Chains A and B, each alone.
Chain A
């Protein structure tokens, strides 16, 4: 605790007294573009797959035809209970290591970077979107905002323990700038864009 006092004392003595105001953020984020088209283009550009669907049935059918249902599929959404389990939210997170596909729903998405905002209350477990081999996130088309400017307006004072923007699958280019999907987290990301 003694260091805290010392550090703060030094900072107080050394910090300049120049700027008290903060800039006006309302000047930002006024770019005009087609939000849905941009969202899809950006997502594809960073290795994710946009899939437009009309309802949950289409999502179920898509998953049935693209994933092996014998493997472990988990979701937070009762609408998907036919194909994925719902009873994992209180288990030891380490036990999720064999999950093949996690399906969750995002609060909203951001067109300029394809990021999807998710928080722990809708993730089931914080590690769920990371430890899974593949990830699918559902977002309503009406819940797409243009830029991060609108994104934080929407988040506002939202209460959460943990929240993250997820933009595309986990990736790395640490070996000679060669892009490889599936570094530590999900190898692929499907975004179901729901009417």
Chain B
């Protein structure tokens, strides 16, 4: 969508790390969320069984999603809901706009929907002269600042209360220098209450869509999705097709996992099940593909569609915590974003699977057991094969492969200047300085292990004694 050149993760991360105090704060804040998650998860004796069960349900969904979608649509229609299908972001945006146009409405209140971020709906509607107000407090803050969210669950986690105070002072006329979160939240409440009371169309995301019943479930802590939907004439709920679950009873599994994984809460304040529109009102559901069916066909990566968007992988990711959500230049940041984004645009997002140490913590916190770090590894292989890595790196890797496959060459190369250190780890292109910028090089020993072994191993000693 954006014509601006994408700044690579490592460049953005370097910039983010210029302010050490702020990086420390960002890291600690998100680590605090991860710790709350641990505490909450560890209180549930069934936790690991819940994860396994959720994973199995999602595997079943991936294998049967065609039939579940057909079932879901039929049930939703029976419930009086109008169902739309969008092949891509453009069609999604057009459908939403057509609903607005039909009702001749120029204003919308919207609760959190990462799908609409992915589709850049706000920009699209703005061009059509429609005003959208994001009602989730975090999204409201970043919208006023004309920034994208930096986290799928905590959209304004990159901002400090001083930043929010400044933004609210400018846009809502709050007292300058009043940083009190209570005061700032109350100001947003007053302002948004007026929005809720005056909007005829409310758009929400969808956390789960139940094939068996045709209902959708939307989870919030603030109650903003409900305030919007229950006061509007038209409720539009937008969902990627992977939000499907087979049966209502499966909500019992996912609702136990979602909030605990996300923030450590036992459940979100509101878990709202929308099954039928209010009498005389309209409800629409827009089912979106936008690359998901392609991802479904990628054997190595289809498991990413199991994601329930809890954000736990971001909170635990040591790289995310120290680079910030914006460095991932994608609607969904962090580890899960890094395995979703290349599917949408390999060339633009080729850097993301490399923005990880493959430490594997993401996979362990994932409530639906997505093999996130293995998929990062696999995306690297695909991106290299498809030619999305720098040529110099490829040449260096080829040299390395040749040397390491041949012990004789390796030993000569080793002696003459420690081949390994020049080439591993990633001293490709001879950028030795990148290691040396903030780290000393290891000392070079008198002899290598194999040189020592030749002289000192039991066999060589035995030989010497003969």
The answer to whether B231 and A93 have CB atoms under 8 Å apart is: yes
Q: Is the CB of B289 within 8 A of A10?
A: yes
Interface residues on A, range: 35 or more
Which of chain B's residues have a CB closer than 8 A to the CB of A184? Answer: 135, 189, 192-193, 196, 222-224, 227
Interface residues of A in 1-54 (CB under 8 A from B): 1, 3-4, 6-8, 10-23, 25, 27-31, 42, 45-46
Asked if A148 is at the interface (CB within 8 A of a chain B CB), the reply is yes
Contacts A16-B62, A27-B49, A165-B270 given; does A174 touch B137 at CB 8 Å: yes
- Pair B46/A28 contact, Cβ less than 8 Å: yes
Interchain CB contact under 8 A, B189 and A182: yes
Cα distance, A14 to B267, chains bound together (Å)? 34
Nearest chain B CB to A184 CB, angstrom units: 5
Most chain B beta-carbon contacts within 10 A, residue among A10, A148, A182: A148
Residue contact A174 to B63, C-beta cutoff 8 Å: no
CA–CA, A97 and B192, complex, Å: 13
Q: Which of A144-177 contact B (CB under 8 A)?
A: 147-149, 151-153, 155, 157, 160-177
* Interface 9-residue window, one of A58-66, A74-82, A100-108, A124-132: A124-132
Counting chain B CB atoms within 10 Å of each CB, the highest count among A11, A114, A125 belongs to A11
Contact with A along B49-82 (1 / 0, CB 8 A): 1101100110110111110011000000000000
Q: Which residues of A contact B270 (CB under 8 A)?
A: 130, 164-167, 170, 185
The winner among B62, B164, B231, B251 for most chain A CB atoms within 10 A is B231
Cβ-based interface call for B156 (8 A): yes
Q: A151-B252, A184-B224 are in contact. Are A11 and B266 (CB under 8 A)?
A: no
B267 touches A28 (CB 8 A): no
B4 within 8 A of A: no
Q: Given the interface contacts A19-B62, A25-B252, A176-B181, does A46 sit within 8 Å of B246 by beta carbon?
A: no
Complex interface bits, A109-143 against B, C-beta within 8 A gives 1, otherwise 0: 01011110000000001110011000000000000
Are A176's CB and B293's CB within 8 A? no
Specify the chain B residue showing the minimal Cβ separation from A148: B252
Partner of B275, one of A16, A113, A160, A174: A160
Is A183 in the interface zone, CB < 8 Å from B?
yes
Chain A residues, CB < 8 A from B196: 184
B-chain residues with CB within 8 Å of residue A173 when the two chains form the complex? 154, 221, 263
Q: Which residues 208-248 of B have a CB within 8 angstroms of A?
A: 221-224, 226-227, 230-231, 241, 246-248
Q: What CA separation (Å) do A179 and B154 show in the bound complex? A: 13
Contact (Cβ within 8 A) A14 B293: yes
Verify if B294 is at the interface (C-beta below 8 Å from A): yes
A27 nearest in chain B by CB position: B49
A69 within 8 A of B: no
Tell whether B141 is near chain A: CB-to-CB under 8 Å.
yes
Do A19 and B63 have beta carbons less than 8 Å apart? yes
Tell whether A152 pairs with B249 under 8 Å between CB atoms, given A165-B267, A183-B137, A184-B193.
yes
| Closest chain A residue to B25, Cβ basis | A176
Interface-facing stretch out of B84-92, B323-331, B340-348, B449-457? B84-92
**Residue B386 interfacial (CB < 8 Å):** no
Q: Which residues of A contact B268 (CB under 8 A)?
A: 167
Question: In the complex, what's the smallest C-beta–C-beta distance from B357 to chain A, in angstroms?
Answer: 25
Residue on A with the closest CB to B196?
A184
Once the chains are docked, how many angstroms separate the CA of A16 from the CA of B305? 13
- Shortest CB-to-CB span from B137 to chain A, Å, is 4
For the complex, give the distance between the alpha carbons of A148 and B221 in Å: 18
Query: Is B297 located at the chain interface by the 8 A CB criterion?
Result: yes
Report the minimum CB–CB distance from A121 to chain B (whole Å). Answer: 12
Known contacts A126-B230, A147-B256, A161-B275; A171 and B161 CB within 8 A of each other: no
Q: Cβ of A28 and Cβ of B189 under 8 Å apart?
A: no
A residues with CB within 8 A of B: 1, 3-4, 6-8, 10-23, 25, 27-31, 42, 45-46, 93-94, 97, 110, 112-115, 125-127, 130-131, 147-149, 151-153, 155, 157, 160-178, 180, 182-186
New A-B pairs, 18, CB < 8 Å, besides A1-B85, A177-B29? A7-B87, A10-B297, A22-B56, A22-B247, A23-B56, A112-B256, A126-B278, A130-B223, A148-B256, A163-B272, A163-B275, A165-B267, A171-B221, A173-B154, A174-B155, A177-B154, A183-B137, A184-B222
A-B contacts, 22 listed (Cβ < 8 Å): A3-B86, A11-B65, A11-B69, A12-B66, A16-B299, A16-B302, A22-B250, A94-B231, A97-B197, A112-B256, A131-B227, A131-B231, A147-B256, A148-B251, A149-B252, A167-B269, A167-B270, A174-B154, A177-B154, A184-B224, A184-B227, A186-B223
